[in-house]
Each structure stands twice: as structure tokens, then as C-alpha cells.
Structure 1
Amino acid sequence: MSRTPNGKRVKGWILPMCGLLLLAACKREAVELQGSTSEPAAAVRELAQHLQRNDLVAFTRSAVPPGYHAQLETAWQQGHSRWPLTELPLEDKLVPLLAALSAPGSERQLTTSFDRQFARQERDLKDATRALGQFGVQYVRHEGDYTAEERDHYVQLIGALSEWAAQAPLADPGLAHAAIPRLAAAARQVGLDTEEALQQAGMASSLQRLTPMLVEIKATLDSYGLPLDRTFANLRTGLVEQQGDRASVRIHYPLGDREIDTVVSLERRDGRWYLSDYLRHAEQAIEALKPDPGEVPPIDPDSLPGADTPPG
């Protein structure tokens, strides 16, 4: 078939047109949400930026008012609280995970265990992740002490993570053999493999020491197709409503192959905006420092009237 001048012209404008369409699509993806420049919306993005930079200490400082920090540190050191770690999924598994990874010879033991139980078991792992996802969604919908906003957000999170896990190469021996030594080295660098170690280190020091682990967990998830830094970098926020010292902010961000779209409540304290759920959780931790009003303090016999008077 011979080429005609018209055919050349057609081919000549197809590629530029495709480029324009792709550019337009990218621009639509990057459009900010309405009210993105508001203070409440910016406060939420600030938290995501701290997580993207792996700065858990800065995240804590931005998440609650300055007057809470010393009380939360005390609650941590007294064993009443592990906030803000309690904002993480499966936070109660953190110390066992650090202990298992930092144990002597963990690389060989964990690699052997993986090869025996999970290597090349793609179907079983996919079925397990789907079942766990379904259970998690049902639990969040009907159980637990969650606000309506938390339930909506967590259901979307679990769905996205379950969908990712069902497609991720979790049974790939090569990826596991590469990740385990790096995670073990990070856990040993952290050096917080017991609750007592966390308690003695204190909140601020523990969060700072956990940074290498956060960095390596991110890198591992990225190798399995879940780039969390992309999630934090592409998080968008917009103001839904503001009435006095209360506001609602829409949050939109990618997680795996899904787009999470949820609304959170914020409160203004001393001129700054904070997530209401974070305030509630932090205040619950601080509340544990107060003595129980029904608890009777022990009586010192030497303090009783007449305690120094000899008998008879």
C-alpha cells in the first residue's frame, strides 16, 4: 500500500494529540481539592509530610497541642500509653516483630521458616489475604471503639491493602531473602525489642530510634509494589466545612491500585488545627495518669494521731 500525503498528515497529528490527552489527564489528576489552601487542610498535609520524611517526632509535635507532649511522655514512661504508635495498624505486633528480627541468627531462622511455609505458595497466600481482608472489614464495621469517620477510613484502607496483598508477590523467595537481612539489621539498630525497653527509652527517644525500621519497612513494601512515600506525596486535602473552631477536611490519596477518599474532623486549639481523633486518643492516654477517684490511698500508721504516744 502506498503512503499518501493525507496519511502522513494523519500520522503527524496523532502523536501530538495523544500527548496532549495524556498531559490533560495528568493535569486533572493533580488538580487540588477545593479549599486546599485553608489552614485545616494544610494541617492534615503537614502530618503526611512528616511521615514521608520518616520524622515520627515531628509528626507527634504536629498531631497534638504542645501542652500535651510532656503528659504523653510521662504516660509512655509509666507504661500507660504507646501513643502515637497506637495510630498504626497492628501496633501491638511491633515489639514482637522487632524481637523476632533482632534475635541472634534471625536471618537464617526467618528465611528457613519462609521457605518452608510460604515460598511459592501464591494461591494459599492470596486466599489468606482475601479472608483476612473480609474479616477486617466486618470487624471495623461492627466492632471496636471507632468513630464513624474512622470506620469509613479503615474500611477503605483494609480493602485497598487486601487488594494489594492479593496481587503482590508475597511468595517470591528472592524478595523475601533480600528483605529479611535488611529488616533484621534495622531492628538491631533500633534496639527496642521489649516493652520495658520502650518504656525506659521514653516516647520521643523511642520514636527517633524507630526511624531506621520505618525506612526499611517502606523500602520493603515498595519492593512488593506498595510505595508508601508515593501515597504521602500525592495526598490531597480540601476544606469541606468550617464553623468556628471545628472543621471537616476531605482527604484523597492513592494506596495500591485504589484511591482513598474520606473526610476527617479537626478542632482548633490555641490557633492551630488538630485531627479530632488524634486529640481523643491522646487525651485518653493522658487520662490514665489521673488517680482513680474510687481508689483509697494506703494509710501510713505513723501518720495517725497519737502514733508517737507510748501505750498505757
Structure 2
Amino acid sequence: MTRSLPHRLALLAGLLGALLAGGCQRDATPSSAIAVAPAARVAPATRPIDAVLLLRDRLLARDGAGFARLAVPPGLHARLASGWSAGRTRWPLDELPLDARLPKMLAALQKKDAQSTLIATFDRQFKGADRDIDQTLRTLVVFGGEYVQKAPDYTAAEREHVVQAIAAVGDWAVAAPLSDPARARRFFTALVAAAQRSGIDGKAGNAAFARLGMDDSLRRLSPFLATLLAQLRDQYGLDLDASLRGLDVRLLEQTGDSARLRLRYTLAGRPIDAIVPVVRIDGHWYLADFVARAEASLGPGADAGKPASP
């Protein structure tokens, strides 16, 4: 399922902010030193609200592989792992903005002169350009909001959630010191180091992910994404980890193997109120949208071997 730029901005704000932020705790412990509970020790969700809360906890634990295991039924997870190694899917990276650009991003950050090149590019294009940056951001927010309102592939609940998230991230971005060269230097320094520690060969592109497989790729990416989010917090004030910790999830209604949850959280200082569907498959609960997108990521013929849905 191809995601447009406005949709990716929405995912950054909504899904990344509410569920997919693998952000950092507010302590001095390096991300590489934080213990991650193996996914096998975490039972799948037996209550509708746990479909969200268990994923939130895996992300706070920087456990990308564990997140993937709990986000979909075991049979689908196995097919995703096989598809990942065959190069047919990159789910759950599909849920992240810029997922298709991750290999190029890693390759750029892993170059010998990466830090100096990035800083020079920043100085040339963004240093002191507050007015131009603000105008571009405002235009993107307006465009993204209009796109979401008209796009036919959104439900009413999704549309409302996404529009709120775009507005919140837009407000943050306009107020953030994005043109500050000192902050940019610290940002790039941290990302270069994290990319080089990942052990993922960015120059190999998607072949590197295929060679490592889904679980190992996600384990290696988790500290890198955690560093990215920590720098967004420390340099620019976007604390996605706080959004996760403050997430309030309540059951609105349940009918058999389907239910609707109400999510409330604060994103970039703005309250977000959203409704999300969950589904029970083989006795466990999952976010319906995640299951659907994971299935779609496998492409034509993905239904082969698919467990029966309720």
C-alpha cells in the first residue's frame, strides 16, 4: 500500500506519536545499555485495550522486534518474516514516515565525511532561514489537511485523528528552532554515530534488510530510531516519549470479536482524541489497521496461508 507524503506526515504525528515512537526515557542511560524484554516473555493482548498498551510498552522498551510480534497474529508474523527476507515487505517500517528512504538515510549517515557534509548542507540551505522554513511548514500542513479531508481511503475516525495530529506537529514545527546551527550540529553528530553503530550496511540498501531478516533488522534499527526521537526531544522539544507515557486508552464498545477504543494523548502540547478499531483473532486482540496494512504489504497472493478472520 503506497503512502503519500501527507499521509506520512500524518503517520509521523499520529501513529509515531501515539504508538510508534520508540523514544528515549528521561535518564542518562545510553539506549544500547537498556535491557529489552524478549518478545517471547510478553503474552499477546487478551483485552481490547491491551492491543494498544502492549505495543506502547514494547516501544518504550526499544523492542522493535517485540513490537512486530505483538502487533499481528503469529501466522501473519511468520509470513511477514518470510516476505521480509524475500524483499516483498518492510512492515512494520511501512508505518513509519520515510520508510523507503531509510537505507539511503543510513548510507548518507555512514559516509566517512557524513557529519561535515550534512552540516555544510544545512548551513547552505537552512541556516537563518526561519521565515522560509515556517512558510514551507505552514503550506505543508494546509496541504496535508486538505488531502486527508478528501482522500477516499480514510474512515471518518481516521480522518479526524490524522487532521488533529497534522495540526499538532505543524504547530510544533513552526515554533521549533529548526534553523539553529548549533542544534543541527548536535542532531547530526548523534545520528551519524547511531547509524554507524547499527551494523546495517546502508550502501546495500534493501538487500541489507533482506539479509539480516525482519527481527534482526528491527533490533538494529531500534537504537537508531530511539536516538532520532531523543534528538527531536532534546534539540527541538518534541517529546514523543511523553506522548506514549501519557496515553489513555479506554474501551468504547465491543461486539463479538470487534471493538472500538478511544485514545487520548498529548502531542506537541496539543490534546489528541481518537477512535481506533481493534479485532480479535484466535483469542487475541490486535489493531485492525495494523493487521490490514501488514497483510496488504505482502502484495498479491498474500492471502495464501492466511488464518481465518472473525
State the TM-score bracket (shorter-chain normalisation). 0.7 to 0.9
Which position in structure 1 is the counterpart of 2:108? 100
1:206-239 residue CA offsets vs partner (Å, 9 max, x unmatched): 1001022112111111021101110110001001
Quick check: 1:269 aligned with 2:281? yes
Quick check: 1:116 aligned with 2:128? no
Quick check: 1:221 aligned with 2:229? no
Quick check: 1:241 aligned with 2:249? no
The residue correspondences of 1:72-91 to structure 2 (distance < 5 A) are 72-91=80-99
Distance 1:61 1:229 in 2: 21
Which position in structure 2 is the counterpart of 1:68? 76
Structure 1 residue 197, shift from structure 2 partner: 0.9
Amino acid at match of 2:157: E
Change (3 A) 1:237 1:114: same
Give the match's secondary structure for 2:48.
helix
Structure 1 residue 150, shift from structure 2 partner: 2.9
Which position in structure 2 is the counterpart of 1:53? 61
Q: From 251, 271, 281, give the equivalent of 2:263.
A: 251
1:4-45 residue CA offsets vs partner (Å, 9 max, x unmatched): xxxxxxxxxxxxxxxxxxxxxxxxxxxxxxxxxx92112211
Change (3 A) 1:149 1:192: farther
Which position in structure 2 is the counterpart of 1:232? 244
Which position in structure 2 is the counterpart of 1:208? 219
Structure 1 residue 155, shift from structure 2 partner: 1.9
Distance 1:269 1:291 in 2: 15
**Structure 2: runs of 5 or more not aligned:** 1-45, 305-310
Structure 1 residue 116, shift from structure 2 partner: 1.3
Which position in structure 2 is the counterpart of 1:174? 182
Distance 2:164 2:244 in 1: 16
Does structure 2 retain, via aligned residues, the 8 Å contact 1:107–1:181?
Answer: yes
**Structure 1: runs of 5 or more not aligned:** 1-37, 293-312
Which position in structure 2 is the counterpart of 1:164? 172
Amino acid at match of 1:201: L
Structure 1 residue 87, shift from structure 2 partner: 1.0
Distance 2:110 2:71 in 1: 30
Does structure 1 retain, via aligned residues, the 8 Å contact 2:51–2:278?
Answer: no
Change (3 A) 1:258 1:284: same
Quick check: 1:128 aligned with 2:133? no
Amino acid at match of 1:66: P
> Number of matched residues?
255
Q: Which moved more, 1:281-290 or 1:252-261?
A: 281-290
Give the match's secondary structure for 1:86.
helix
Change (3 A) 1:146 1:188: farther
Change (3 A) 1:78 1:156: same
Distance 1:99 1:137 in 2: 32
Structure 1 residue 94, shift from structure 2 partner: 2.0
Distance 2:159 2:229 in 1: 25
Distance 1:126 1:236 in 2: 32
Structure 1 residue 289, shift from structure 2 partner: 5.1
Amino acid at match of 2:160: D
Give the match's secondary structure for 1:39.
coil
What TM-score results when the alignment is normalised by the length of structure 1?
0.77
Structure 1 residue 89, shift from structure 2 partner: 2.2
Give the match's secondary structure for 2:81.
helix
Distance 2:108 2:143 in 1: 26
Give the match's secondary structure for 1:210.
helix
Does structure 1 retain, via aligned residues, the 8 Å contact 2:137–2:174?
Answer: yes
Quick check: 1:196 aligned with 2:207? yes
Change (3 A) 1:261 1:284: same
Indicate the structure (1 or 2) with the bigger Cα radius of gyration: 1
Structure 1 residue 97, shift from structure 2 partner: 1.7
What TM-score results when the alignment is normalised by the length of structure 2?
0.78
Structure 1 residue 142, shift from structure 2 partner: 2.0
